[in-house]
């Protein structure tokens, strides 16, 4: 079709590209706020935490949609993710991470030693080994610092699963033996982001029993933002748990018309009862909340 | 005398086409719907991901499977599943296997696989590597757009952006076709011409076109362009005149003869119609435009003539297949048209440098980002405008026939012998 288009003069092109690049870099230059973004990845979870030029990705959703979200919220010249966290190895949290590992430089991967013996898990494992990132199995008390942001691990209590899963020499061979027998949702890595006075809690797909254990342990405090557990399932976000963390904002990462009926009326009611404002990715697309460490606001 | 020979040839070819068409129709329905099958064979398309599924072809079967493990072209596999018949938009029956049980037969695709499959598999491996370079260094949809412009790969494009390209009538930039062929051939001619005798340059350039055609996925538009481009080079080499319209007619008839159901393929229809528009309608429009649009300058007016020639010729096809056509399409094309060669240049450079020196390629990627971002911003901006597209509810073939009849007769009247319009192979670097 471009039969009559010509390559415009080289000088003009160089000039235009130079100016365009300058404007692009200036416009994309990071601010001094902490950003929490729940990506619209359909039915699944993918959350970006970003501060200046550092980013943490918690889960990657079910497919490559997470890449579009990263492109929208990371400067175009930044091809590095400082930290990747897989809360638990199920497809709707894990599969998109394979594409992220393929395309970005990932410095550190935080993951449990539990195995979900699926083709997706094997692909994720291969991609992590190929990336050569530092692999870390977390437990309560661990703190990850990203600039002025601080991410504290609240769950699991102690390392779960087998560390051998994440050693390249043994990792591929022991999948069958290391397959997790309990409810894999309850192994979700739970972490709290603190930036000044702003706190946000990310709970993966944990259900009532882990919530109960966390409430009992006394590590929970009030937070401004809660990533609502398990896409708003009725078996998560108990009244007691919500009362303890008392979030002002409840972010639900969920796909439109999903076959699980998420989020459920029960959970929405419980969130309503504590007066939380509900933000849903199926309604609003990417949900972004920014904070300067003192105030926080929902970005549209 | 010449007219008689040509008409006889055309009639004979059409007769042959009818025979082959009927044969093709009857051979396609031997497997009953929902029957359980076990199939062994080679994956014969590069698998692509759509939402959370992987889609590939196994000879005549379409396969939809889980996203992992990822398969590639040339894998020798065994499938067990139920056949499902699905009608395509153009009314053909496709045989699908949905989530079949898949087993890879040989981990080492080696000795046993046919030579043709091995050759194509290695070409696809190069393509895969180029796509990886793009996607490692560029964000989305920039990386996929580059892969589309340079290689004609358009499977990985984000759905939102693909819809925006369709809505603004710019989707053709991610289909490899004539422009890509002319760039590849021009580049090869210039480079090889430095070292080799002209006698060798032309066959090597044609070999380059063939390799590129395979790499671009071998879809109908690029095959048409490759045949026409190669013929143009041969004509140029032999010092013969090259009659674009006759070559177009012959090429499309030849392709339809080899694969009769091709005439239902939207890509084939659009490609032939757009080429016809540029060869016949554009020269007819140009004189009118230069009178009317003085203010645009010569270059922009030429661009406008090409855009309008192509758009007016494909207009009924788009309307019939997709139900709507954008009013703003010529304007958007006029604006982004000049970005496409720049994107292609940077994309080619990025691929080349990426193979040799990845850290240098990062710098090239930053530069390439600029025209890509400009293209994306313009397309998304126009897509966001509240223009209602032209749409039709009834799909009547009569107005399509009337439209083309009017167009043909107008071209014929304004230009008694449009077929004589000699098309020169355009050198892009002039």
User: For position B422, what pLDDT does the model report?
Assistant: 41
For the record, the structure tokens of B142 come out as 């920039």
- Which of residues 52 through 81 in chain B touch A, CB cutoff 8 A? 52, 66-70
Determine what percent of chain A is predicted with pLDDT higher than 90. Answer: 78
pLDDT, tens digit (0-9, with 9 covering 90-100), for A64-76: 999 999 999 999 9
pLDDT, tens digit (0-9, with 9 covering 90-100), for B108-166: 555 567 788 888 888 888 999 999 999 999 998 999 999 999 998 877 788 889 989 98
User: For position B235, what pLDDT does the model report?
Assistant: 83
β-partners of residue B58 are B43, B61
Of A8, A68, A91, the CB nearest to B338: A8
Please state, in angstroms and rounded to a whole number, the distance separating the CA atoms of residues A95 and B49.
12
Q: How many CA atoms lie within 13 A of B166 on its CB side?
A: 14
User: For position A198, what pLDDT does the model report?
Assistant: 96
Residues belonging to chain A with any Cβ–Cβ distance to chain B shorter than 8 Å: 1-8, 13, 16-17, 20-21, 24, 42, 62-65, 67-68, 70-71, 74, 76-77, 79, 91, 95, 98, 102-103, 118-120, 122-123
User: For position B424, what pLDDT does the model report?
Assistant: 39
CA torsion, ordered B130, B136, B137, B142, to nearest 10 deg:
80
pLDDT confidence band for A272 (50 / 70 / 90): very high
SS3 label, residue A275: coil
Q: How far is A295 from chain B (nearest CA, A)?
A: 31
Mean pLDDT across chain B: 83
Number of helices (H) and strands (E) in chain A: give both, helices first: 10, 15
pLDDT, tens digit (0-9, with 9 covering 90-100), for A4-23: 445 557 888 888 899 999 99
**Within 10 Å of residue A28's Cβ, how many Cβ atoms?**
12
What number is the average pLDDT over the span A247-267?
94
Residue A216 has pLDDT above 80, yes or no: yes
User: For position A8, what pLDDT does the model report?
Assistant: 55
Of A4, A63, A71, the CB nearest to B51: A63
Burial class (CB in 10 A: 0-12, 13-18, 19+), B100: buried
pLDDT, tens digit (0-9, with 9 covering 90-100), for A145-180: 988 899 999 989 988 888 888 988 887 777 777 788
Q: How far is A296 from chain B (nearest CA, A)?
A: 28
User: For position B1, what pLDDT does the model report?
Assistant: 66
CA torsion, ordered A245, A250, A254, A258, to nearest 10 deg:
90
CA distances from A31 to A35, A291, A300 (A): 10, 11, 16
Q: Is A71–B307 a contact, with Cβ atoms under 8 angstroms apart?
A: no
pTM for this entry = 0.85
User: For position B428, what pLDDT does the model report?
Assistant: 36
Residue B393 has pLDDT above 70, yes or no: no
């Amino acid at each position: 079709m471009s039969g009559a288009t010509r390559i415009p003069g080289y000088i003009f092109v160089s000039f235009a590209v130079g100016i365009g690049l300058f404007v692009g870099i200036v416009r994309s230059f990071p601010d001094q706020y902490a950003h929490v973004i729940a990506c619209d990845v359909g039915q699944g979870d993918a959350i970006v935490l970003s501060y200046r030029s550092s980013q943490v990705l918690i889960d990657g959703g079910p497919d490559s949609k997470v890449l579009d979200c990263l492109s929208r919220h990371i400067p175009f010249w930044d091809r590095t993710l400082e930290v990747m966290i897989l809360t638990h190895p199920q497809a709707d949290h894990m599969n998109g991470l394979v594409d992220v590992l393929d395309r970005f430089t990932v410095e550190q991967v935080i993951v449990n030693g539990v195995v979900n013996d699926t083709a997706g898990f094997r692909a994720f494992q291969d991609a992590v080994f190929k990336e050569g990132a530092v692999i870390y199995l977390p437990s309560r008390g661990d703190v990850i610092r990203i600039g002025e942001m601080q991410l504290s691990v609240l769950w699991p209590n102690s390392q779960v699963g087998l560390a051998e899963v994440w050693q390249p020499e043994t990792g591929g061979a022991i999948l069958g033996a290391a397959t997790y027998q309990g409810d894999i949702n309850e192994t979700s890595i739970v972490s709290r982001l603190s930036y000044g006075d702003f706190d946000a809690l990310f709970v993966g797909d944990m259900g009532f029993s882990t919530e109960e254990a966390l409430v009992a342990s006394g590590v929970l405090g009030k937070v401004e933002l809660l990533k609502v557990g398990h896409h708003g399932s009725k078996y998560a976000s108990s009244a007691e748990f919500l009362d303890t963390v008392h979030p002002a904002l409840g972010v639900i990462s969920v796909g439109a018309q999903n076959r699980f009926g998420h989020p459920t009326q029960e959970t929405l009611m419980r969130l309503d009862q504590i007066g939380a404002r509900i933000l849903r990715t199926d309604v609003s697309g990417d949900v972004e909340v920014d904070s300067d460490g003192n105030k926080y606001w929902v970005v549209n | 005398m010449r007219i008689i020979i040509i008409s006889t040839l055309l009639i004979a070819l059409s007769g042959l086409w009818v025979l082959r068409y009927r044969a093709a129709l009857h051979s396609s329905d031997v497997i009953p719907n929902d029957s359980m099958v076990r199939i062994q064979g080679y994956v014969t398309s590069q698998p692509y991901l759509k939402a959370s599924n992987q889609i590939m072809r196994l000879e005549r079967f379409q396969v939809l499977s889980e996203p992992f493990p990822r398969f590639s072209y040339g894998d020798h596999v065994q499938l067990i599943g139920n056949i499902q018949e699905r009608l395509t938009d153009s009314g053909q029956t496709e045989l699908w296997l949905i989530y079949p049980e898949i087993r890879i037969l040989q981990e080492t695709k080696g000795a046993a696989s046919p030579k043709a499959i091995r050759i194509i598999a290695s070409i696809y491996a190069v393509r895969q590597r180029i796509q990886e370079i793009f996607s490692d260094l560029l964000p989305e949809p920039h990386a996929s757009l580059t892969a589309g412009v340079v290689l004609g790969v358009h499977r990985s494009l984000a759905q939102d952006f693909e819809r925006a390209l369709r809505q603004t009538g710019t989707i053709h930039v991610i289909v490899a076709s004539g422009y890509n062929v002319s760039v590849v051939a021009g580049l090869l001619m210039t480079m090889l011409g430095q070292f080799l005798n002209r006698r060798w340059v032309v066959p090597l350039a044609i070999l380059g076109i063939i390799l590129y055609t395979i790499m671009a996925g071998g879809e109908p538009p690029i095959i048409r362009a490759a045949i026409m481009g190669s013929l143009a080079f041969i004509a140029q080499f032999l010092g013969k005149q090259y009659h674009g319209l006759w070559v177009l007619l012959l090429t499309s008839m030849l392709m339809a003869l080899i694969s009769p159901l091709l005439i239902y393929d939207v890509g084939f229809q659009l490609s032939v119609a757009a080429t016809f528009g540029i060869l016949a309608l554009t020269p007819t429009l140009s004189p009118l435009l230069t009178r009317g649009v003085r203010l645009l300058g010569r270059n922009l007016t030429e661009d406008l003539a090409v855009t309008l020639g192509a758009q007016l010729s494909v207009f009924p096809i788009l309307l019939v297949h997709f139900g709507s056509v954008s009013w703003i399409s010529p304007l958007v094309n006029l604006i982004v048209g000049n970005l496409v060669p720049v994107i292609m240049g940077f994309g080619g450079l990025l691929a080349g440098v990426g193979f040799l020196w990845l850290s240098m390629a990062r710098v090239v990627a930053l530069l390439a980002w600029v025209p890509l971002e400009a293209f994306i911003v313009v397309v998304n901006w126009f897509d966001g405008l509240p223009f209602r597209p032209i749409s039709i509810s009834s799909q009547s073939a009569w107005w399509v026939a009337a439209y083309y009849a009017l167009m043909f007769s107008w071209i014929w009247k304004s230009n008694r012998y449009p077929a004589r319009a000699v098309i020169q192979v355009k050198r892009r670097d002039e």
